[in-house]
A and B are shown apart, each in its own frame.
Chain A
Amino acid sequence: MSGSVVDMAAAQRGRGFAREPKPGGDMAEVHAELTGVKRVYPGADGGSVHALGPVDLKLARGEFYSVVGPSGCGKSTLLDVLAGLSAPTEGSILFEGREVAGRVPPGIGVVFQEDASFPWLTVQDNIAFGLRRAGTDAAEVDRRVSYAIGFMGLKDFRKAYPAQLSGGMRQRVCIARTLVMQPRLILLDEPFGALDAQTRLLMGDELLKLWRETGATVMLITHALDEAAMLSDRIGVMSARPGRLIADIRTEWPRERDSRIAAEESFGAITSRLWGLLRDETVKAAGMSGSSR
């Protein structure tokens, strides 16, 4: 393994993905592709639970894609299946042209909603964990870890244990641990779900910075419509279970952006459009009667 995070980022920028990639269009390179993906769980009473799909989705290299949907709609299942953490019941998943078959392919990084930092390791050992297991040489580990620590604003906490940190700080540790592996596709499963509103806005900015810096493709699962509207190039709206993608919304934000775009007129328009699409599905998911307007 050679090249620091910065070199890697530069290399990826040099590859020149479309500035505003069009999904499925001719311009953008398809990075990951799901075709007819379905997931059915065996139910508790011998029946089966249809959790997801069929879903068809193309992620263009370097785009920031978000999935919003009512709770329990199968958003996390979609992420698990794409990451190779669980196998789809039907359909195929390609990452960089290769089939993902129930095993996480190298090049994919995942940040989970739950705190996944290891309480028995210090911040820097947590961040170095994956690199050390991969047998990366010590000097290279140090270089990448120092860079990630600086990038995620963890300099004063290198030697701290996760128990001494706030929830937001711990999530930064997990993001840094993913970052040092130099993933080309980063999947985030409601990573800021447990954080307060202000921290979430700031973390959103960090995420945008990270996305620009690394040139990675990002798929963010979230239930926060404003978060999706603020961060994404493109937003997929999911139906109530079984989750299907019922709309595809493009934001047309410039690549250089941060949370201040919340003040833009079109931000409000996107958010309310998302809510318009999701309201009925949320009512369905909550099992309320007399849905729709």
Chain B
Amino acid sequence: MRQFFDSLVFAAVLVAIWQGLHWFAGDIAIASPGVTAERAMVLLGSPSFWGHFRETFSALGYALAIAVLGGMTIGLVLGLHRLSGEVAEPILVSLYSLPKITLYPLILLIFGLGMSAKVAFGAIHGIIPVAIFTMGAVKTIAPVYFKTARVLQLSRRQLVATVVIPAAIPELVSGLRVGFSLTLLGVLIGEMFASQRGLGFLVMNAIGTLDVPTMMAVVLLLALVAVMISAGLLYLDRRLHHRVA
């Protein structure tokens, strides 16, 4: 209850700052919270908005699936095989710090315009953090679990499915949280520069036509959805970590 109240105060402060910025910068740059909310309601009532919305979130779904499955597989293999892990870790970390936007032209050349480029660009944002988190999770599993598995005659497959993955799940959810926000970022960037559909395109299009309220309304709605998904994952994350502690 107390936490809910705090969140409410935080939201109110954000809106106040927004209103202040609006007064400072004027209609030409920042629409007021009231106007934005009004425009958001209009958007929510229009079928074309929902088309763009679906486009973005299905791209996010595919990209996230690739990032999570790919990242987990890479992380599991590297975490279980010590030597490959030691070789790959610095490579992964430097890839992680590489600004992925520089790869965008390459992605466009490979995948062309449209859905597949967005998915690919989202996935390359998410896959590395998921891999790094998974590897870390597997490497910190207590050695006594591996010994127990050997005494209980577990096969390699049973070891991974019934010990390694369950033991790593709390950390995997943390990785998924980071992976989710970065994948969304990747998809939106993809839509902003070479796309005819999606919420990223809607934002760029609104900027092009100097339609500030629409631009801000899209950003607002996008932020609301992202915050809700993030909060859900955070809740799951805390619960899982709590159970282990």
Contacts and interface: CB of A to CB of B under 8 A. Distances in A.
Interface of A: 83-85, 103-104, 106, 108-110, 112, 114-116, 118-121, 129-130, 133-134, 161, 163, 178, 181
B151 A104 contact: yes
A134 to B, nearest CB: 7
A130 B150 CA distance: 10
The 7 A-B residue pairs whose C-beta atoms are closest, nearest first, are: A130-B152, A114-B144, A120-B166, A116-B144, A110-B151, A116-B148, A119-B244
Given A85-B147, A116-B148, A118-B145, A133 B154 contact: yes
B94 interface: no
- Chain B contact residues, majority secondary structure: helix
A85 B150 contact: yes
B7 interface: no
B245 interface: yes
B152 A129 contact: yes
B2 interface: no
A104 B169 contact: no
Most buried by A among B147, B151, B163: B151
Contacts of B152: 129-130, 133-134, 181
B243 interface: yes
Given A116-B144, A120-B167, A163 B243 contact: yes
Interface string B157-175: 0100011001101000000
A106 B152 CA distance: 8
A163 B150 contact: no
A104 B153 CA distance: 7
A118 B245 contact: no
Given A106-B153, A163-B243, 12 more contacts: A103-B150, A104-B153, A109-B151, A112-B147, A118-B163, A120-B169, A133-B153, A133-B154, A134-B152, A134-B153, A161-B243, A178-B151
B142 A114 contact: yes
Interface of B: 142, 144-145, 147-148, 150-154, 158, 162-163, 166-167, 169, 243-245
Most buried by A among B145, B148, B162: B148
Nearest to A131: B152
Contacts of A119: 243-244
Contacts of B163: 118
Contacts of A112: 144, 147-148
B244 A163 contact: yes
Contacts of A134: 152-153
Contacts of A129: 152, 162
A133 B149 CA distance: 10
B245 A163 contact: yes
Nearest to A106: B153
A114 B143 CA distance: 10
Given A104-B153, A130-B152, A120 B243 contact: yes
9 contacts: A83-B151, A106-B153, A110-B148, A118-B163, A120-B243, A121-B166, A129-B152, A163-B243, A163-B245
Contacts of B144: 112, 114-116
Nearest to A178: B151
